[in-house]
Amino acid sequence: MTAEANQTLPGPAAPPAPEATLLLVDDEPNILSSLKRVLRGENYRVLTASGGEAALAILEQESVDLVVSDAMMPDMDGAELLSRVNRLSPDCIRVLLTGQSDMQATVRAINEGHIYCYIAKPWDDDKLRLTLRQAVAHQLAEREQKRLEALTQQQNQELIELNATLEQRVEARTQELKQIADMLDTAYDELKHSYVMATRVFSSLITQRMPRHLHANAQVGDLIQAFADTHELEGELRRDLLMSAALYNLGKLAWNDHMLTTPSERLFGEERKAYRRYPETGESLLMSLEHLQGTARLIRHHREHWNGDGYPNRLEGESIPYGSRLLALAVDFIELQRGMILPRKVPRQQALDLMRKLAGRVYDPSLCKAFITLCVDQAPDLGQAGKTMLSLETRQLEPGMILGQDIHSATGILLLNEGKELTQHLIDKLRKLEEVEGTGYTLMVCKPEIGENDA
C-alpha cells in the first residue's frame, strides 16, 4: 500500500450550527407541517408541540430562542401560554399566530405575554420568514448589547484597580473603552433599525386586510414625511408621526370585509359605533409597546375635531395633540380621494376645497392652510417618481406638459385623464370651456425634462 493510500482523506464539511432554536405550537398537525415546510430552508433547529402543556414540558428540557404559538388551542390558549413563557424565560422571543376573529386573544397576548409581534392567518410565506429572521436578529442584538454592557462594567472595575498612577495603562484602557462605547452605539443603532423594519412589516400586514384600491398608508406616509421635511419637524414628534401614518388603521383589523369596503358615511347603527371605536382600539394594541406610546396617543386622537365634536374624547382646539391634527389632515385627504369617507371618490382639487371649508370646524385652521399649501406646491401624494409637479392655471400651460391628475368639469364629467400630454389645441379648448362655464381650472402638471420630447 502506498504512502498516499495511508493518508486520511478529508471528510465532508460539518453543517453550520443552527442560528436559533424555534418551538412551533399548534393543535392542528397540518398547521405544524405547513410551518415546518415554510422554514425548511432556514438555518433553525425546529421543535414542535401539539398544545400548551406539551410546549412547557419541552421548554423545561430545551433551550428555546423563539416560540410561535397558535392563539386558539383547546388545553391552553396562545395568550396564556406566551404569558407563562414570558415568566419562565423572559429572553425567549414570543410570536402569536392568530386568525381574524382572535383579536381578544391577541390583545391579551400583547398585554400579558409581551409578544414581539403577531402573524395573521393565512400567512404569507415570505413575510413569515422575514418576520422570524428579524425577531431572531433582534434577540441576537439584545444579547450582544447585554454582553457588551457586562464587558464594559468589568473593564471599568479593572480600570479602578489599575490605579490612576499608571498613566500609560489608563490611557490604553481608555481607548479600549471608547471602542466598546462605539460598538454599543452601533449595536443600539442596529436595534433601532430592526425596530423600524419590524414596524414596516407590521404595517404591511395591516394592508393585507384591505383591498388594494383602498391601500392608503403609503400615501399618508409620503404626505407626513413631506410636511415634516418642509416644516423641519424633528425628534420624537417626527418619529411618532411617521409611525402613526403606518399604523393609524390598526384598529380596523377586526372588521369584516363589508365594513372595510364601505365608506364611513354609509355606516349606521352598530357598524357606525364600531367605526368610531377604531382609534381607541389601535391605541390599546400599541400601549404595551414602550417605544410606540407616543404613536398610540396620536392615533387615539386623530378623529377629534377642532370644534370639539369629534371622538373619542371630544377634545377641542389645541388640546388635540399637534401630531393628531396633522395625521387627520393627511388621512382625510387620501381617504376622500379613495372613496373611503363619502359614497364617491372626491377628485383631488375638490378634496382640497372641502378641507378648506371645514377648517375651523373639523381641522386646525392654520395647520390646514399649511397642509393645503404643501399639497398644491409639492403634491407628494401624486407619486410622480421624483418629477416636479406644478399647480397651474390654464393661462400658464405650455404644450408638452403632462397631466398629473384627472381633470373634471364643474358637473363632474371627465375632461382629460391623468398622464395626458397637453397640446396647444387641448389648452385652447380648456380656455374656451372656462369662458363658457364662467369658471377657472387649476391643473396639476408634470413638465418634461429637457430633451425628453426629442428622445
Q: What is the CATH number of the domain that holds 340?
A: 1.10.3210.10
Q: Is residue 13 part of a domain?
A: no
Give the mean pLDDT of 34-63.
Answer: 92
Q: Is residue 15 part of a domain?
A: no
Which pLDDT does position 333 carry in this prediction? 95
The reply to whether 231 and 318 lie within a common domain is yes
Q: Is residue 260 part of a domain?
A: yes
Give the mean pLDDT of 222-227.
Answer: 91
The reply to whether 361 and 288 lie within a common domain is yes
How far is residue 383's CA from residue 400's CA, in Å, rounded to a whole number?
20
Among 123, 153, 177, residue at a domain's last position: 123
The reply to whether 339 and 306 lie within a common domain is yes
Give the mean pLDDT of 200-227.
Answer: 78
The reply to whether 186 and 261 lie within a common domain is no
Give the mean pLDDT of 273-289.
Answer: 90
Q: Is residue 365 part of a domain?
A: yes
The reply to whether 276 and 408 lie within a common domain is no
> Given pLDDT bands bounded at 50, 70 and 90, which one contains residue 453?
very low
Give the mean pLDDT of 21-25.
Answer: 93
pLDDT at residue 112 greater than cutoff 80 = no
Give the mean pLDDT of 161-169.
Answer: 65
Which pLDDT does position 379 carry in this prediction? 77
Give the mean pLDDT of 319-343.
Answer: 95
Among 207, 238, 258, residue at a domain's last position: 207
For the chain, what is the domain count? 4
In the chain, the percentage of residues whose pLDDT exceeds 70 is 81
Among 344, 367, 382, residue at a domain's last position: 382
The reply to whether 168 and 150 lie within a common domain is yes
Q: Is residue 415 part of a domain?
A: yes
Give the mean pLDDT of 73-94.
Answer: 88
> Given pLDDT bands bounded at 50, 70 and 90, which one contains residue 187?
low
Q: Is residue 14 part of a domain?
A: no
Q: Is residue 452 part of a domain?
A: no
**315 versus 260: which is more confidently predicted?**
315
The reply to whether 351 and 226 lie within a common domain is yes
Which pLDDT does position 196 carry in this prediction? 58
Give the mean pLDDT of 359-364.
Answer: 96
> Given pLDDT bands bounded at 50, 70 and 90, which one contains residue 391?
confident
pLDDT at residue 282 greater than cutoff 60 = yes
State pLDDT tens for residues 116-139: 888 888 889 999 999 899 988 888
- pTM of the entire structure? 0.49
Q: Is residue 397 part of a domain?
A: yes
> Given pLDDT bands bounded at 50, 70 and 90, which one contains residue 194?
low
> Given pLDDT bands bounded at 50, 70 and 90, which one contains residue 6?
very low
Which pLDDT does position 218 carry in this prediction? 82
Which pLDDT does position 361 carry in this prediction? 96
Q: Please report, for the domain that includes residue 435, its CATH number.
A: 3.90.105
Which pLDDT does position 201 carry in this prediction? 62
The reply to whether 77 and 190 lie within a common domain is no
CA atoms within a 13 Å half-sphere pointing along the CA-CB vector of 139: 22
The reply to whether 329 and 243 lie within a common domain is yes
Which pLDDT does position 191 carry in this prediction? 56
The reply to whether 373 and 265 lie within a common domain is yes
Domain interval for residue 141? 133-207
pLDDT, averaged across the chain: 83
Which pLDDT does position 320 carry in this prediction? 97
pLDDT at residue 454 greater than cutoff 50 = no
The reply to whether 222 and 363 lie within a common domain is yes
Which pLDDT does position 250 carry in this prediction? 86
Which pLDDT does position 326 carry in this prediction? 97
Which pLDDT does position 7 carry in this prediction? 46
> Given pLDDT bands bounded at 50, 70 and 90, which one contains residue 153?
confident
The reply to whether 193 and 266 lie within a common domain is no
Q: Please report, for the domain that includes residue 30, its CATH number.
A: 3.40.50.2300
> Given pLDDT bands bounded at 50, 70 and 90, which one contains residue 53?
very high
State pLDDT tens for residues 283-316: 998 887 778 889 999 999 999 999 999 999 999 9
Which pLDDT does position 364 carry in this prediction? 97
